[in-house]
Amino acid sequence: MLDQRHRPRYHFLPPANWMNDPNGLIQWQGVYHLFYQHNPHGAFWGTMHWGHAASRDLVHWEHWPIALAPTPGGPDADGCFSGCAVDDGGVPTLVYTGVSPEVQCLATSRDGLRTWQKHPANPVIAAPPPGLSVTGFRDPCVWREGNDWLMALGSGLEGMGGAVLLYRSADLRHWDYLGPLCTGREEETGAVWECPNFFALGGRHALITSPIPLRRAIYFTGRYAEHRFTPAVQGTVDWGGCYYAPQILREAGRTLLFGWLWEGRSPEAQQAAGWAGVMSLPRALSLTADGQLAFAPALELQALRREPRHFAALDLAPGAETMLPGVSGDSLEIALELDPGEALTCGLRLLCTPDGSEEAGIVYDRAGGQLLIDRARSSLSDGVEREARGGPLALTPGEALRLRVFVDRSVVEVFANETLCITSRVYPTQADAMGVRLFAQGGGAKAWSLDVWQMAPIH
Ligand code: DQQ
C-alpha cells in the first residue's frame, strides 16, 4: 500500500499515515527522542497524537509506541497539539497544547519515556491572559533560566500581528504571565506565530517561528534582557516552500533543528500513498558575524555515505550539459564547489531521465542574485507542485557556489554557502529519472570539485 516510488529512504517518517510538526525533541541518557504530530487514522491532518521515535545516532530511528493520544472529555479531547520536552529534576516531562480551546497541558513518564501519564490537574494554563485578544495560544517552548521555568507560547494579537507570550513558573504546574517576549507587525511577519523556539546562540538570542499565513519558518536574532527580546536581524530558515514548524534540539555544544516537510501533491494522492509528511534532516545552527543563522547538515549523516565518486576541475562549456558518467540515483548526497565564471546561470540537474523529459534543477542565477530549485520539468504529472522556489544568494566576485544537496526520492534538501537552505518536494514519474548533470548557460563555469555518494537507507 505504501507508495515506494516517492517515499524517502533516509529521512525519518512514521511507518504509515500522517505526520506534521516535530515535537518534544530531547536527548535522554544518550538517546535522542523525536516526537511528532501524528494522525494514526490516515494520511490526512486530524485527531492529533504524538508519535514517537528514538535514535542513538540521529540517523537511524526506532519507532516507539504513540506517546500522547487525545483523552475523551479531557482538555486535549480534540487533539494533542505541538509542544516540547524538558527534564524536570530527572522526570521526563512533555508540555503541549490541548484543544479545544487551546490550553497548555503536562504529561510525565516513569518508565524511561515509553508511556506517559497526563497531569491530573491539566490544563496548567487554562486561558490567555485577561484583557488580551489573541489569535492563537499554543505550542509551548519551555526552558530553565536560573531557578525559573520560562515558557514561550505561540500567539498573535488581534489586529496587530504575531506574538510570543512569556510565562514563568517554579514547578511547571503554576504559571504567571510576564508579558510579550516579542511581537511582530501583521503586514510584515504574519498574524499568528506558531511553534516558537527561543534560545541562546553564539552570544545572542534567536527566535524561530512559523507565521500564519507565510507558510515558511522565519528567524530573528538579537538581544534578550529583562524578559524582552529585541530582534536585530531577520531571516528565513528555508526557502523551499515545504519546511515548517521546525523545533530545536539542544545538547552540549550544539543546537540542531528538525522541520516538517509537507507534501507537494494533492490530498487524494497523499491518501492513496498511505503516508504524508517527512522529517527534515537534522541541521546544526550557528551564528555568523553579522547575526544571520548558518546551517550545516549534522555530521552524523556522513555515516550513510556509500560508493564515493569524486570529480575535479570540470570545465562547463556554455550551453552544454555535462553528464557524470556512472552517477545516478534517487538517494544521493552531492557536495559541489562551483566557480560561476562568466555564466549567467549554472548549477546541477537531478533526477534526470536520459531523454531530459524529467529533471529538477538547482540553479544559480547571477543577475537575480538567487539560488533556485527549478521544478518546471521535475514531473510529467500535472497534479504536483512544479513552481520554482528559492532565495537570495549574491556571490561576491571570486566566491564559489558551495552546495550540499541531499536527494531522497521526493525530497531535495539544499544547503548553500552556509546561510541559505532550500528544501522542496519533487515527484518524478519515470523509473529512470535518476541522472545527475552539471550545466552552465550564457558563459562558461568550472566545477572545482564534485563529490557524490549513494546514501544508505535507514528504513
Ligand atoms: N501544528 C500543530 C499546532 C501548530 C501547527 C497542530 C503548526 O500545534 O501550531 O498539528 O504546523
Residues 274 and 378 in one domain: no
Atom of ligand 1 nearest to the CA of 210: 7
CA of 301 to the centre of ligand 1 (A): 27
- The whole-number pLDDT of residue 325 equals 85
Q: Which of 3, 21, 176, 355 is catalytic?
A: 21
Helix, strand or coil for residue 267?
Answer: helix
Residues 150 and 212 in one domain: yes
Report how far residue 213's alpha carbon sits from residue 350's, in angstroms, rounded to the nearest whole number: 31
175 falls within a domain? yes
4 falls within a domain? no
Residues 199 and 261 in one domain: yes
Report how far residue 131's alpha carbon sits from residue 407's, in angstroms, rounded to the nearest whole number: 49
Name the residue of 76, 138, 216, 261 whose CB sits within 8 Å of the most ligand 1 atoms, as the mutation to test its pocket.
138
332 falls within a domain? yes
Q: Is 330 a catalytic residue?
A: no
- The whole-number pLDDT of residue 343 equals 96
Whether the predicted model's global pTM rises above the 0.85 cut? yes
Residues 29 and 133 in one domain: yes
Residue 189's nearest CA partner among 154, 213, 223 is 213
- The whole-number pLDDT of residue 4 equals 82
CA of 32 to the centre of ligand 1 (A): 22
CB 440 within 8 A of CB 316: yes
Residues 340 and 448 in one domain: yes
Return the C-alpha cell found at 356: 531530459
Last residue of a domain, one of 297, 322, 348: 297
- The whole-number pLDDT of residue 1 equals 47
CA of 60 to the centre of ligand 1 (A): 25
Residues 77 and 207 in one domain: yes
375 falls within a domain? yes
Q: Tally Cβ neighbours within 10 Å of residue 40.
A: 14
- The whole-number pLDDT of residue 394 equals 87
Residue burial 333-356, b: 16+ Cβ < 10 Å; e: rest = bbebebbbeebbbbbbbbbbbeee
* Total number of domains constituting the chain: 2
Residues 267 and 151 in one domain: yes
> Which residues, at least 6 apart from 276, have a Cβ–Cβ distance to it below 8 Å?
17, 18, 19, 43, 44, 262, 263, 270
Which residues form ligand 1's pocket by a CB distance below 6 Å? 20-21, 37, 48, 81-82, 97, 138-139, 194-195, 244-245
The CATH number of whichever domain residue 230 belongs to comes to: 2.115.10.20
CA of 261 to the centre of ligand 1 (A): 13
9 falls within a domain? no
11 falls within a domain? no
CB 283 within 8 A of CB 413: no
Atom of ligand 1 nearest to the CA of 81: 8
Atom of ligand 1 nearest to the CA of 48: 10
Residue with CA at minimum distance from ligand 1 atom 10: 81
Look up the domain containing 422 and give its range.
302-455
CB 332 within 8 A of CB 452: yes
6 falls within a domain? no
DSSP annotation string for 171-240: SSSSEEEEEEEEE--HHHH-SEEEEEEEEEETTEEEEEEEEETT-S-EEEEEEEETTEEEEEEEEES--S
7 falls within a domain? no
Residues 231 and 348 in one domain: no
The CATH number of whichever domain residue 325 belongs to comes to: 2.60.120.560
Residues 256 and 311 in one domain: no
Residues 230 and 291 in one domain: yes
Burial of 29 (C-beta count, 10 Å sphere; 0-12/13-18/19+): exposed
> Which residues, at least 6 apart from 18, have a Cβ–Cβ distance to it below 8 Å?
38, 39, 42, 43, 44, 45, 46, 275, 276, 277
pLDDT in tens, the chain (459 residues): 457 899 999 999 999 999 999 999 999 999 999 999 999 999 999 999 999 999 999 999 999 999 999 999 999 999 999 999 999 999 999 999 999 999 999 999 999 999 999 999 999 999 999 999 999 999 999 999 999 999 999 999 999 999 999 999 999 999 999 999 999 999 999 999 999 999 999 999 999 999 999 999 999 999 999 999 999 999 999 999 999 999 999 998 999 999 999 999 999 999 999 999 999 999 999 999 999 999 999 999 999 999 999 999 999 999 999 988 889 999 999 999 999 999 999 999 999 999 999 999 999 999 999 999 999 999 999 899 999 999 999 899 899 999 999 999 999 999 999 999 999 999 999 999 999 999 999 999 999 999 999 999 998
Last residue of a domain, one of 279, 297, 315: 297
CB 300 within 8 A of CB 58: yes
Residues 178 and 257 in one domain: yes
Residues 272 and 335 in one domain: no
Last residue of a domain, one of 278, 297, 316: 297
CA of 1 to the centre of ligand 1 (A): 27
